Amino acid sequence: MKKVLVTGGTGVVGKTLVKQLIKKGCDVRILTRHKFHAGAGNFIDLTTFSGKDQGALNGKDHSLSKIELFSGDIRDADALARAVKDVSTVFHLAAVLDNYSLSRKDHFQGKNLYDVYREVNVKATEMLVKQACKAGVDRIVFFSSISVYGKNGRDNFADETTPFCPDSLYAVSKAEAEKYVLAGINHKKQPIGVVLRPASVYGPREKKNYTRLIKIMQHGFFVTVGKGRTKRTLIHDHDLAKAAIIAAEHPKARGKIYNVSDGRVHSLNDIRQAIAKALDKKYVNICIPEKLVCFLIFLLGKFMNGRSIASGLENMVTDMTVSADKIQYELGFKPEMQLDEGWQDAVKRAI
Ligand SMILES: NC(=O)c1ccc[n+]([C@@H]2O[C@H](COP(=O)([O-])OP(=O)(O)OC[C@H]3O[C@@H](n4cnc5c(N)ncnc54)[C@H](OP(=O)(O)O)[C@@H]3O)[C@@H](O)[C@H]2O)c1
């Protein structure tokens, strides 16, 4: 694996992956809609990919010269054809995750989230696989999501054989895109795709849910539903990037699907305690009875406008857990970041 393409290389997970690839000695091409520059504005600061802060490059920072910029939209077939040229491996992370991921151009063109999910997450993946097969790419590692399993309910635990039950547009788009990835074959008729289904990602760059949690706890309180026993599986972005590199290189990974987590199941209480420990802060825990939340979900669900709040509340009382044994046994992936250490790292840079 010498020359690689990373779509979504500017995102939360992508930046960590790019750093690890550079440290490994790869030449990395990043497909992005933006332009690279050391300045501000609509440009990306290249130094965010620098390995200096981790002491990775022993003084002289060669990392930036290892990055090749490819400016383009993943929905553009020509841009994709150019982007996959001469690369052996593609890490496909580019995606629309939520409303915030819509570009100003999309808004301006009056596109809604449904259109953009289909264009970016599904159709662009189909095109990318097609162009990659044509160009002789040997491996595509696709970042799907455990959301394809839907809400498992209490005590359910999805593994890679659990049927799809996606309950959001995002999850539907990921489930559909996986099929295109798994259908890709090389000239020897071997599958080139590997599907990773990461659990909930956290780490120093995460900007969404967990950052909100950290900010709330910095104010000295926390809200728990019931006894805080709702279960989650997590993965730190450092370990997810590591898993992706293993999936790109391991001969057994071709054509396979792997859940990726730190291998444990955590309650929301465990997560809250790890954050508090990392923040070194005392806090007041405000408990809301679970029955009250379930009643609110029921009431809100009856009104159109309340649906997104109801779904948010439902998430707080629904377990979202997966088994990630397969990637450990089959590919030898060993997560390095357990809860306390992972949150120390995440909090250090989030505050
Ligand atoms: N974060 C999580 O909790 C989580 C959990 C499970 C799975 N995943 C999956 O992991 C992957 C990475 O997630 P993330 O959190 O790092 O996402 P993110 O921070 O939102 O980054 C999304 C990336 O997609 C690129 N992108 C979006 N639309 C594009 C377009 N039209 N053309 C080209 N590039 C486009 C963006 O690049 P530019 O803006 O530079 O163009 C950006 O680098 C995604 O596939 C996601 O579904 C994430």
Please give the distance, rounded to the nearest whole angstrom, from the Cα atom of residue 46 to the centre of ligand 1: 18
pLDDT digits (tens, 9 = 90+) for 123-163: 999 999 999 999 999 999 999 999 999 875 556 789 999 99
Reported confidence tier of residue 321, pLDDT bands at 50, 70, 90: very high
Reported confidence tier of residue 54, pLDDT bands at 50, 70, 90: very low
pLDDT for res 55: 39
- Greatest mean pLDDT among 1-15, 192-206, 238-252 lies in 238-252
Please give the distance, rounded to the nearest whole angstrom, from the Cα atom of residue 5 to the centre of ligand 1: 14
Closest residue by Cα to atom 11, ligand 1, is: 93
Closest residue by Cα to atom 28, ligand 1, is: 95
If one compares 96 and 308, the residue with the highest pLDDT of the two is 96
Q: Across residues 164-186, what is the average pLDDT?
A: 94
Atom of ligand 1 nearest to the CA of 33: 41
For the whole model, what pTM was predicted?
A: 0.90
Atom of ligand 1 nearest to the CA of 92: 45
Q: Across residues 6-29, what is the average pLDDT?
A: 94
Q: Across residues 315-341, what is the average pLDDT?
A: 92
Q: Decide: 160 and 107 in contact? Cβ < 8 Å.
A: no
pLDDT for res 264: 95
Please give the distance, rounded to the nearest whole angstrom, from the Cα atom of residue 204 to the centre of ligand 1: 16
Rounded (5°) CA angle 83-200-252: 60
Q: Across residues 105-119, what is the average pLDDT?
A: 80
Answer whether residue 48 shows pLDDT above 90.
no
pLDDT for res 244: 98
Least confident of 82-96, 112-126, 131-145, 203-217: 203-217
Share of the chain above pLDDT 90, in %: 56
Q: Which CATH number fits domain 3-206+233-262+321-336: 3.30.300.30, 3.10.450.50, 3.20.20.70, 3.40.50.720?
A: 3.40.50.720
Q: What are phi and psi of 93, to 5 degrees?
A: -110, -20
pLDDT digits (tens, 9 = 90+) for 256-311: 999 999 999 999 889 988 988 998 888 788 887 777 777 777 776 666 555 566 56
Please give the distance, rounded to the nearest whole angstrom, from the Cα atom of residue 305 to the centre of ligand 1: 28
Distance CA 347, CA 351 (A): 6
Q: Decide: 125 and 92 in contact? Cβ < 8 Å.
A: yes
H helices of the chain, in order, are 12-23, 77-83, 104-108, 113-116, 124-135, 169-183, 209-218, 237-249, 268-279, 290-301, 307-317, 325-331, 339-350
Mean pLDDT across the chain:
85
pLDDT for res 243: 98
Structural domain spans, the chain:
3-206+233-262+321-336
Ligand 1 in reach of 145 Cβ (< 6 A): yes
Q: Across residues 195-213, what is the average pLDDT?
A: 85
Q: Which of 23, 8, 88 is nearest to 53 (CA)?
A: 23
Reported confidence tier of residue 42, pLDDT bands at 50, 70, 90: very low
Q: Across residues 207-232, what is the average pLDDT?
A: 79
Distance CA 148, CA 166 (A): 5
DSSP state of 163: P
Please give the distance, rounded to the nearest whole angstrom, from the Cα atom of residue 298 to the centre of ligand 1: 33
Q: Which residues pair with 160 in a beta bridge?
A: none
pLDDT for res 224: 77
pLDDT for res 212: 76
Please give the distance, rounded to the nearest whole angstrom, from the Cα atom of residue 28 to the centre of ligand 1: 17
Ligand 1 in reach of 343 Cβ (< 6 A): no
pLDDT for res 152: 59
pLDDT for res 46: 61
